[in-house]
Amino acid sequence: MPPRSLLPTNRSDQQLTFSQPGRRCLPSAAARWPSRMVRLRVSSTTVAILLAIQTGFLLFLYAHHGSFLSPSAEKPARVHVLIISSWRSGSSFVGQLFSQHPDVFYLMEPAWHVWGTMYQNSARVLHMAVRDLVRSVFKCDMSVFDAYMPWKRNLSDLFQWAVSRALCTKPACEYFERTEITSERSCKTLCGKYPFSNVEEACKTYSHVVLKEVRFFDLRVLYPLLTDPTLNLKIIHLVRDPRAVVKSREQTVKALTRDNGIVLNTNGTKVDDSQYKVMQEICRSHIQIYETATLKPPEFLKDRYLMIRFEDLVRDPLAEISAMYRFTDLQLTGKLENWIYNITHGQGPSRRKEAFQITSRNAVNVSQAWRDLLPFEKVKKVQDVCKGALNILGYQLVDSEKEQKDLSVELVLPYRRNQFSWVSFGDE
């Protein structure tokens, strides 16, 4: 783990960064950003010294006692991160937060190829193929794609390859340096023709392999990866208010019909989700994953599971991103911090609407849009099928249209990660 104080951690950082809906905008938010970075650097020097002392002490211990290392410390140096989420929950955005990091080899939804090839099966049957593909990719063994792609293939045959900064920079693509922030568009123009073997070659040069998947519905499927001594797996579980998810799914109905069929096991028949049967499955899976990880979790899950709510992320990106980076042993660089500031404030070059584009502008507004746009009748139905998930993940139900539309009524309950429990209102 990197030292705690390197990164802004506590919730009191919140007032330094972004305003919240229904609250007064802090005019100085932008102006204060640089001062936070200065503070960060000062403390990082102190921490570096402390770290050096600590390292020396540990080496001393090691020399004298030999095998004091715990089993988890024997895990391989490469860190494997799996972001599990569901459709339209902000996972592309979270994926980008990792993808743009210069230490990270990132692929978005590699198991798309599994589902695409075997679409007549159920999600449950495909779990194992998906898991084995994920395991191979973590180990940078890309031969696993032989089953799902033509033999003569190039890098651009990978699903959403151009959102992966690692596939757009050296050594995968010679046009960009790996410390650059890449854009999907320029990458598509310049990097598509490279041979597929560059994927594997690039992967092997990174300390972190990060994958994002919406295709796991049960945490227990991942147990063999957690206990695999050749993997050092960290799981980030990204959730979002199911009512907002439904609103967002309505904008992409067509694109989701094949996956819906797989979730509902329809033998290859495409279906829309007008009855919220898919939503019900998604909500059920979030409960299963969260409860499995937090109520009497097995020992091997210790320090390997982190739940993130999309709403917390858009309200206080830096605090949540810092928590995710800390959890996965990544350092937040000044350049990344600037970029994050840009994308969460609607600045910078990437404002075009692209197919799976991260929606960054007015992210807080976007996360609340369902309250304006989703008819109360639908809200009630979603609350019916997702009641358990709403409760467990800390989202308040609404009893009336009035309550739904009144943005001064807070529906996202504060969550204190450290204590792993919900705090009541007014506590902060």
| Nearest distance from C-beta of residue 165 to ligand NAG, angstroms | 13
Cα four-point dihedral sign 255, 256, 262, 265: negative
Separation CA 425–CA 407 (nearest Å): 16
The reply to whether 357 sits near ligand NAG by the rule CB under 6 A is: no
Smallest gap from Cβ 207 to ligand NAG, in A, equals: 22
Residue of the chain from 153, 170, 380, 417 that contacts ligand NAG (CB under 6 A): 153
Q: Which of 154, 179, 333, 383 binds ligand NAG (CB under 6 A)?
A: 154
383 binds ligand NAG (CB under 6 A): no
- Measured in residues, the chain has a length of 428
Binding to ligand NAG (CB under 6 A): which residues in 254-283? 267-268
Q: Is 24 in the site for ligand NAG (CB under 6 A)?
A: no
Region 174-203 residues binding ligand NAG, contact defined as CB under 6 A = 181, 192-193
DSSP summary character for residue 230: T
Residue with tokens 């849009």: 369
Owner of token pair 């998930």: 389
Q: How far is the CB of 42 from ligand NAG (least distance, A)?
A: 22
Contacts (CB under 6 A) with ligand NAG, residues 110-129: 120
Torsion angle in degrees (nearest 10) through CA of 135, 138, 140, 141: 0
Is the separation of the CB atoms in 169 and 155 below 8 Å?
no
Q: Does 362 bind ligand NAG (CB under 6 A)?
A: yes
The pair of structure tokens assigned to 46 is: 């102190």
Q: Residue 266 CB: number of other CB atoms within 10 A?
A: 16
| Phi and psi angles of residue 307, each rounded to the nearest 5 degrees, phi first | -95, 135
Backbone Cα Rg of the chain: 22
Prior bond of 375 cis (ω within 30°):
no
Min CB(142)–ligand NAG separation in Å: 15
Is the Cβ of residue 144 or residue 181 nearer to ligand NAG in the bound state? 181
Question: Which residues from 315-344 bind ligand NAG, rule CB under 6 A?
Answer: 335, 338-339, 342
Closest CA to 417 of 337, 327, 332, 341: 327
Residue 28 or residue 365: which is nearer to ligand NAG going by CB? Answer: 365
152 sits near ligand NAG (criterion: CB under 6 A): yes
Least distance in Å: CB of 305 to ligand NAG?
31
Which is closer to ligand NAG, CB of 19 or CB of 43? Answer: 19
Alpha carbon distance 378, 174 (integer Å): 50
Q: Which stretches of the chain bind ligand NAG, using CB under 6 A?
A: 120, 152-154, 156, 181, 192-193, 267-268, 335, 338-339, 342, 347-348, 362, 365
